[in-house]
């Protein structure tokens, strides 16, 4: 679309927001965008409608069709309500659960959604205050709801908010429902939204329900004897101003851990995230205060949760005594290694267990599963796809864990989304198990690499904001498809997997195979002859194109760790330079 045509379209869209249907503050904000000589904000606010991606509805807060505001939330809720009425027309009463995080406007949006649902005749369960996303997933299953929503933008910067929608199994919505709901939402005009529901049909969920959730969370403990022996494990925990502030420490204590050390400055609940630039446990700056507290208290482990407490961040001391972040691949690796080895040691494996990882997550996890006779499945990025695998295998096989590289893990299936509360309990047990053997988590990782092979992974990304940025990202994906690199990091390209066509092609032999996935996705993967893997995809929730790079190597002894680690790091940087230059 040419710039003049685009500006005409967005101007027409924006003018519809000047009617009396919209509140005065919104009308004034839109008029200011129309009056401004710089039309960038106008275009970015109105050039499209927000749609459900891998993380649901998410965007910058403000006025416009491409912004998170009471009207886009209202339209999403009314569209979802319409779809639920059709999908569950056989039920006398449709029930939904609603939660929210610490972000600015999250409570406003959640209360508005609750009233819209009740205006449509639904029964609503609304949490009394901010709560972790996994508790919302649990509530849907526990209370027999047909759907649920949570207002959160996860770890995004403070100007963002979002709206995650869930189905009756507690999972975020997948196809075909997701696209059908989007289609329904697109038909909703502001005047179609039923705003004025009754509070009589809203049940508030509080501490009693929290206790039910915590009881389930601590059932994740595999080896209670280890917890008893190391119950005074020094655990520093930070919620980074978010919803994990109460439930994570309470769950750790309920599991038997008696020495949980908080970070008072980050226990402050705030959508402005006053101590960090970005409330993301992947970022060293977000973890700095907790690591400083750990150094001061000689802690054994640091754990953090993001604002909606679905992702877990972990820090450990390296062999130089420095506190470092355990990356997402390593976190998933520790979880699944521990689960599998403990299940084997305690004779808990019955032969029908399985694990799940996403396609961009470390292949070392697949190696561990294969060598231990555990079935594993690959799925797309997003825990809704992990939950879909569980749903497909319900009653046939037993799920024992699944995760992805972006600091998400789901240890048990009573929650059908990533679950940092339960994960914190299990990670504390892993640290206790390691300490019982005289090891840190860092030592444990190195011993895993010696046993199963070394792998190093990094995710790099390029940000391209706004409508023009979306075009640039699309062009980059087209270029990678039409002219894939022939050599990466000094190794010949062997396999190209294109998930938009579901075709895997061996470029050396010309042989092609069908990729076993239900739907297509805008993802490319390159595999070289020496085992290097590169995954490329546009983010579903942020204006980024992401590159996931994994390089493998042999680690013969722990003494060689630093040397092998440094050489693979150089190789990753070499590969990244080839991809973006």
Dihedral of alpha carbons 567, 572, 574, 575, sign:
positive
Q: For residue 493, which of 533, 535, 523 has the smallest C-alpha distance?
A: 533
Cβ–Cβ under 8 Å, residues 425 and 541: no
- Asked whether residue 1 carries a pLDDT value surpassing 50, the answer given is no
Which is nearest to 118 in space by CA: 169, 51, 190, 194?
194
Task: Give the 3-state secondary structure of residue 304.
Answer: strand
Distance separating alpha carbons of residues 248 and 135, to the nearest angstrom:
11
What pLDDT does 27 receive? 96
pLDDT band at 41 (very low <50, low <70, confident <90, very high): very high
Considering the four listed CATH numbers 3.40.50.300, 3.40.50.2300, 3.40.50.720, 3.40.120.10, the one that applies to the domain covering 48-205 is 3.40.120.10
The yes-or-no answer on residue 154 being catalytic is yes
* Mean pLDDT value across residues 423-450: 97
Q: What is the pLDDT of residues 259-268, one digit of tens each?
A: 999 999 999 9
Nearby residues of 19 by Cβ (< 8 Å), 6 or more positions away:
none
- CA 309, CA 529: separation in Å to the nearest integer? 39
The proportion of the chain whose per-residue pLDDT surpasses 90, expressed as a percent, equals: 88
pLDDT tens digits for range 204-230 = 999 999 999 999 999 999 999 999 999
Does the pLDDT value for residue 24 go beyond 90?
yes
| Nearest-angstrom CA–CA distance, 419 and 62 | 30
Average pLDDT over residues 251-277: 97
Question: Does pLDDT of 436 surpass 90?
Answer: yes
Enumerate the CATH 3.40.120.10 domain ranges in the chain, comma separated. 48-205, 213-452
**Per-residue pLDDT, 51:** 74
What is the widest separation between alpha-carbon atoms in the chain? Answer: 72
Q: How confident is the model at residue 53 (pLDDT cuts 50, 70, 90)?
A: low
Distance CA 141, CA 134 (A): 11
- Select the CATH number that applies to the domain covering 213-452 from these four: 3.40.1440.10, 3.30.1600.10, 3.40.120.10, 3.90.1150.10: 3.40.120.10
Which of 138-147, 321-330, 531-540 has the weakest average pLDDT? 531-540
Record the tokens describing residue 165, joined without a space.
């929608």
Question: Which of 42-51, 160-169, 444-453, 564-573 has the least mean pLDDT?
Answer: 42-51
8 Å CB contact between 199 and 122:
no
The DSSP result for 32-59, as a single string, is HHHH-S--HHHHHHHSS----BTTBEEE
63, 110, 154, 406: which is the annotated catalytic residue?
154
pLDDT bin (cut points 50, 70, 90) of residue 468 is: confident
Residue 280 CA: distances (Å) to CA of 244, 288, 317, 379, 509 = 13, 11, 20, 24, 43
Q: Is the pLDDT of residue 347 over 70?
A: yes
Answer yes or no: is pLDDT of 50 > 80.
no
What values do phi and psi take at 64, rounded to 5? 130, 160
Who has greater pLDDT, 134 or 57? 134
d(CA 79, CA 22): 18
Task: Kindly give the interhelix angle for 420-436 and 133-142, rounded to the nearest 10 degrees.
Answer: 110
- Residue 26, phi then psi, degrees to nearest 5: -65, -45
pLDDT over 70 for what percent of the chain?
A: 98
pLDDT confidence of residue 54: 46
Statement: residue 489 has pLDDT above 70: yes
- Angle 207-217/133-142 helices, nearest 10 degrees? 90
Beta-carbon contacts of residue 509 (< 8 Å; ≥ 6 apart): none
Specify the pLDDT at position 442: 97
3-class SS letters over 266-295: HCCCCCCCCCCCCCCCCCHHHHHHHHHHHH
pLDDT(131) > 80: yes
- DSSP E strands, 239-351: 260-262, 301-305, 312-317, 323-326
Chain segment 79-112, per-residue pLDDT in tens: 999 999 999 999 999 999 999 999 999 999 999 9
Cα separation, 97 vs 145, whole angstroms = 7
Concatenate the DSSP letters of all residues of 56-106 into one string: BEEEEBSSSTTSBSHHHHHHHHHHHHHHHHHHTTT-S--EEEEEE-SSTTH
Q: Which CATH code fits 454-580?
A: 3.30.310
pLDDT (mean) for 113-132 = 98
Q: Is the pLDDT of residue 469 over 90?
A: no
Please report which confidence band the pLDDT of residue 505 belongs to, taking 50, 70 and 90 as the band edges. very high
- In the predicted structure, residue 285 carries a pLDDT above the cut 80: yes
The helix (H) or strand (E) run that includes residue 146 is none
Mean pLDDT for the chain overall: 94
The predicted structure's pLDDT at residue 111: 97
CA angle, residues 161, 164, 168, in degrees to nearest 5: 160
State mean pLDDT over 126-141.
98
Q: What is the pLDDT of residue 325?
A: 97
- Integer-rounded Cα Rg, in Å, for the chain is 24
Q: What residue spans in the chain does CATH classification 3.30.310 cover?
A: 454-580
E strand or H helix at 143, and its extent?
none
Q: What is the pTM of this model?
A: 0.93
Q: What is the reported pLDDT for 4?
A: 81
């Amino acid at each position: 679309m040419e710039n003049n045509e685009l500006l005409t379209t967005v101007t027409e869209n924006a003018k519809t927001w000047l009617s009396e249907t919209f509140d005065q503050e919104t009308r004034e904000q839109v008029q200011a965008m129309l009056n401004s000589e710089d039309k960038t904000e106008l275009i970015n606010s109105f050039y499209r409608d927000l749609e459900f991606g891998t993380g649901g509805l998410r965007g910058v807060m403000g006025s416009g069709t491409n912004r998170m505001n009471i009207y886009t939330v209202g339209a999403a809720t009314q569209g979802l309500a319409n779809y639920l009425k059709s999908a569950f027309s056989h039920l006398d009463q449709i029930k939904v659960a609603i939660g929210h995080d610490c972000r600015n406007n999250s409570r406003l949006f959640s209360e508005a959604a609750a009233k819209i649902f009740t205006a449509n005749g639904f029964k609503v369960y609304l949490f009394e205050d901010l709560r972790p996303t996994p508790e919302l997933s649990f509530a849907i299953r526990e209370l027999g709801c047909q759907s649920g929503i949570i207002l959160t933008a996860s770890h995004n910067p403070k100007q963002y908010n979002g709206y995650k929608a869930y189905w009756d199994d507690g999972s975020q919505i997948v196809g075909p429902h997701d696209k059908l709901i989007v289609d329904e939402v697109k038909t909703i005009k502001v005047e179609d939204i039923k705003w004025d529901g009754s509070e009589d049909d809203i049940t508030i969920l509080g501490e009693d329900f929290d206790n039910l959730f915590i009881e389930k969370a601590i059932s994740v403990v595999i080896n209670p004897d280890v917890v008893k022996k190391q119950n005074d494990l020094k655990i520093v925990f930070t919620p980074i101003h978010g919803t994990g502030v109460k439930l994570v420490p309470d769950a750790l204590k309920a599991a038997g851990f008696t020495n949980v050390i908080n970070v008072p400055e980050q226990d402050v609940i705030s959508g402005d995230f006053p101590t960090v630039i970005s409330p993301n446990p992947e970022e060293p700056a977000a973890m700095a205060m907790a690591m400083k507290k750990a150094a001061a208290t000689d802690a054994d482990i640091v754990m953090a949760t993001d604002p909606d407490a679905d992702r877990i961040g972990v820090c450990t001391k390296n062999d130089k005594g420095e506190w470092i972040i355990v990356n997402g691949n390593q976190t998933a690796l520790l979880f699944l290694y521990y689960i599998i080895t403990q299940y084997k040691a305690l004779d808990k494996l019955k032969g029908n267990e399985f694990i799940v990882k996403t396609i961009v997550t470390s292949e070392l996890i697949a190696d561990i599963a294969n060598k231990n006779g555990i079935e594993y499945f690959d799925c797309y990025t997003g825990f809704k796809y992990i939950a879909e695998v569980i749903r497909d295998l319900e009653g046939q096989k037993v799920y024992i864990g699944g995760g992805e590289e972006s600091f998400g893990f789901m240890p048990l299936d009573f929650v059908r989304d990533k679950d940092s509360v339960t994960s914190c309990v299990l990670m504390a047990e892993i640290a206790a198990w390691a300490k019982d053997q005289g090891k840190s988590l860092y030592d444990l990782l190195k011993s895993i690499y010696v046993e199963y092979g070394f792998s190093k992974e990094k995710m790099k990304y390029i940000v391209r904001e706004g409508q023009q940025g979306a075009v640039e990202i699309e062009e980059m994906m087209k270029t990678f498809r039409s002219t894939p690199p022939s050599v990466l990091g000094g190794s010949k390209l062997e396999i190209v997997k294109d998930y938009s066509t579901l075709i895997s092609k061996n470029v050396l032999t010309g042989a092609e195979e069908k990729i076993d996935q239900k739907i297509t996705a805008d993802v490319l993967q390159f595999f070289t002859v020496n085992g290097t893997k590169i995954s490329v995809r546009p983010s579903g929730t942020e204006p980024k194109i992401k590159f996931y790079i994994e390089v493998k190597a042999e680690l013969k002894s722990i003494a060689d760790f630093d040397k092998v680690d440094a050489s693979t790091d150089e190789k990753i940087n070499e590969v990244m330079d080839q991809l973006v230059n």
